[in-house]
Chains A and B, each alone.
Chain A
Amino acid sequence: MKLTVNGKIESFEKESLTIEELLKLKKVKMPEMVTVELNGTILEREKFKTTYVKDNDSIEFIYYMGGGSPII
């Protein structure tokens, strides 16, 4: 199947993949720290395991960007 991942068209051997499996294939270090958009809609994290992608879907994933400077 062909997916557009972060703007690039990529081919995958599997015809069925969950978002969680896709993130693993993309070697995402900490999936719990990633925001995923599927075909323009941001997915809730709880749905990563149960949401399947299909041919020609478009997926964006991006790590959280944050931090802090605790005042001591």
Chain B
Amino acid sequence: MIRIPKTIYDEIISYTNSKLPNEACGILAGINNLVKKIYKMRNVEESPESYLMDPHEQIRVMKDIRENNMKMLAIFHSHPKTPARPSAKDINMAFYDDVFYIIVSFMNKIPDVKAFKIIGKSVTLEKILIED
């Protein structure tokens, strides 16, 4: 289970929504599965069907996470027109066993947000607890 403060949860949705029709992406960091900070990342592919983070930005963010004594807890991205479940490409590029992969789907009017753990080819749905 990942715990996300409501303000950050809303930011995930508003940021990914602001980048439509393209996919958007970011990183969540925190302590003990409680998210403390959102990093809104650039999708260098600027595509409605894929995302790739900028490696320079990734390294900068990882250093910031360390300096603030946090851990990377989740990687989020949006699916503008497909469901909130990992695609084959999402699974193939899920290299971090210990982070949550959060997908925001805008396929329907109300955004659907789901979290997963992806280990190898095994995908497990995880609970998101939104905290006030």
**Chain A's nearest CB lies how many Å from the CB of B28?**
12
Query: Is B49 located at the chain interface by the 8 A CB criterion?
Result: yes
Query: Is A26 located at the chain interface by the 8 A CB criterion?
Result: no
Query: Is A27 located at the chain interface by the 8 A CB criterion?
Result: no
Query: Is A60 located at the chain interface by the 8 A CB criterion?
Result: yes
Q: CA separation between A8 and B23, bound complex, in Å?
A: 34
**Chain A's nearest CB lies how many Å from the CB of B31?**
16
Contacts of A42 in B (CB 8 A): 55-56, 59
Instruction: With A42-B55, A68-B23 given, name 10 new contacts (CB 8 A).
Output: A7-B66, A29-B95, A35-B58, A42-B56, A60-B62, A62-B58, A64-B93, A69-B80, A70-B49, A71-B81
Decide: A66 near B55, CB < 8 A? Known: A6-B62, A33-B93, A60-B63: no
Quick one: CB contact mask for A22-66 with B, threshold 8 Å, 1 for yes? 000000011001010100001000000000000000001011111
Decide: A71 near B49, CB < 8 A? Known: A35-B58, A60-B63, A65-B58: yes
Query: Is B117 located at the chain interface by the 8 A CB criterion?
Result: no
Q: Interface residues, chain B, CB within 8 Å of chain A?
A: 23, 25, 27, 41, 45, 47-53, 55-56, 58-59, 62-63, 66, 75, 77, 79-82, 86-87, 89-90, 92-96
Interface size class of A (residues with CB under 8 A): 20 to 34
Query: Is A68 within 8 A of B89, CB to CB?
Result: yes
Closest to B56 in A: A42
**Chain B's nearest CB lies how many Å from the CB of A28?**
9
Q: CA separation between A7 and B67, bound complex, in Å?
A: 9
Query: Is B87 within 8 A of A63, CB to CB?
Result: no
Decide: A68 near B87, CB < 8 A? Known: A33-B95, A62-B58: yes
**Chain A's nearest CB lies how many Å from the CB of B19?**
13
Contacts of B93 in A (CB 8 A): 33, 64-67
Query: Is A67 within 8 A of B87, CB to CB?
Result: yes
Query: Is B82 within 8 A of A63, CB to CB?
Result: no
| 20 A/B residue pairs, CB under 8 Å, sorted by A | A6-B62, A7-B66, A30-B95, A33-B93, A33-B95, A35-B55, A42-B59, A63-B95, A63-B96, A64-B55, A65-B53, A65-B58, A66-B45, A66-B51, A67-B77, A67-B89, A67-B92, A69-B80, A70-B49, A72-B82
